[in-house]
Structure 1
Amino acid sequence: MDYDGRKIGTLESVYFDTLTDRPAFATVTIGLPTRRRLVFVPVDKATVGPSYLKVTYDKSLVKDAPAIDPDGELAAEDEGAVFAHYHLPYEQGSRGERRLGRR
């Protein structure tokens, strides 16, 4: 759900920040049954309930976020675009390590 309570999609997975080991982004399944994709949304300040995750971002912003195929993987070179979409700072590890890991 977005901050107004509008459903965005279905929670798929959680990505953690490899520097802090804390949840950083979630992927949400959106789209038509024949054209589904996973979009990334930050989970900072998110509210978790028994059957929902409410984020502090507008539905339209989330739907325009970088996406991957439902069985795809976020490429290391695309991580920066995910952070940039939400105007969040991004740095790779000191040795070029990935910033996001999936759990």
Structure 2
Amino acid sequence: MIRPADLREWRDREVVDEHDRRIGVLEAVYVDTATDLPSMATVRTGLPTRHRLVFVPVAEAVVGPDYVRVPYDRSLVKSAPSIGTDDVLPVEDEEAVFQHYGLRYRPGPDGGRQLARR
């Protein structure tokens, strides 16, 4: 398992898919509000003048010498729900991120957010 502090150290490193194809650059780590464990990361993709942040689960991510490998195909990740580089994921859009990857969505305590940026 990757601890939140460990994964945050990989900010600005390459994120690759299960076939070692480049997806983008690790931007931020989001933890599950119930467990405080890493749940998702945002990956900066797109052209330099049109960057966006796509979400990808990191529960099964593997850290290499200079990359973070996620067990998803690049096309799946790049088609995931995204936000602008200066935007925040609206709480009402969280469930769509989980559904995109076929993961169960559990709202946080008291019906709040499941994801929190760290």
The answer to whether 1:83 aligns with 2:98 is yes
Match for 1:44 among 59, 62, 74? 59
Alignment map for 1:58-97 (pairs within 5 Å): 58-97=73-112
Which residue in 2 is equivalent to 1:10?
A: 25
* Structure with the higher fraction of residues in helix conformation: 2
Q: Under a length normalisation based on structure 2, what TM-score does the superposition of the two structures give?
A: 0.84
Runs of 4+ in 1 over 3 A off after TM superposition: none
Aligned partner (choices 34, 46, 49) of residue 49 of structure 2: 34
Instruction: Report % sequence identity.
Output: 59
**3-state DSSP class of the match of 2:110?**
coil
For the aligned residues, what is the CA RMSD? 0.9
Matched residue pairs, number?
103
Gaps of 5+ in 1: none
Give 1:48 shift.
1.1
**Preserved contact between residue 32 and residue 39 of structure 2 (Cα < 8 Å):** yes
Deviations 1:7-58 (A, max 9, x none): 1000000000011110000100000111110000000211012321100000
Match of 2:22, SS state, is: coil
